[in-house]
Structure 1
């Protein structure tokens, strides 16, 4: 698979979802309300300590509620030397509006 842009749109994610590791960096209470199918929850506060959970054989896409936390997480991973990571522009909110209306909005 070709490398993804650093910021992916909801539509782009929908096209490649089966070929990426999708990481939800929100808090557990948020994931209990809504999540993108196939994603793995690693809250932002635990991400740096959980790098071994990031697969090396496929691109990683981070997401949060509206995209702010995932953008910050991407910068943090850059500083730690982690490559092959993107984030979802607009977060799960945009994904729900533009791709999958069955995902609850909050």
Structure 2
């Protein structure tokens, strides 16, 4: 019985931590629908945080690729004086990238709801060179 209580308390603590962390992140990151995203991304820095192979298979027209795995090293490429529109495949990596940017003084952070997998707008596919 004591072990079950300990497990339940641990699970509850993990759930509360996840909810608190998500609520805190929502203060600094705006999740936008595709229509809202389309309204503002041309006046912002549009960054695809997926890996290069994913980017090459298709990306939102006008975006540049700064993979989450390289964000710390390449953060200087992102301007602090302009809004930042982020996306990944489904949304988890863009949230992590936004958290990293926020911790380094960036504001005006936005992400695409549902990520690239839900995008219906124009895309570009990198041609393979043979």
TM-score if structure 1 supplies the norm length? 0.80
1:20 to 44, 48, 52: 44
1:79 to 90, 103, 126: 103
DSSP 3-state at the match of 1:82: coil
- Other-structure match for 2:87: 63
1:34 to 47, 54, 58: 58
Provide the rounded CA distance (Å) in 1 between the counterparts of 2:41 and 2:104.
25
DSSP 3-state at the match of 1:6: strand
Query: Which structure has the highest helix share of the two?
Result: 2
Say if 2:34 and 2:119, in contact at 8 Å, map to a contact too.
yes
Larger Cα-atom Rg: 2
DSSP 3-state at the match of 2:73: helix
Number of residue pairs matched?
A: 97
Q: CA deviation at 1:56?
A: 2.9
Say if 2:80 and 2:106, in contact at 8 Å, map to a contact too.
no
TM-score if structure 2 supplies the norm length? 0.66
Residue segments in structure 1 that go unaligned for 5+ positions in a row: none
Q: CA deviation at 1:28?
A: 0.5
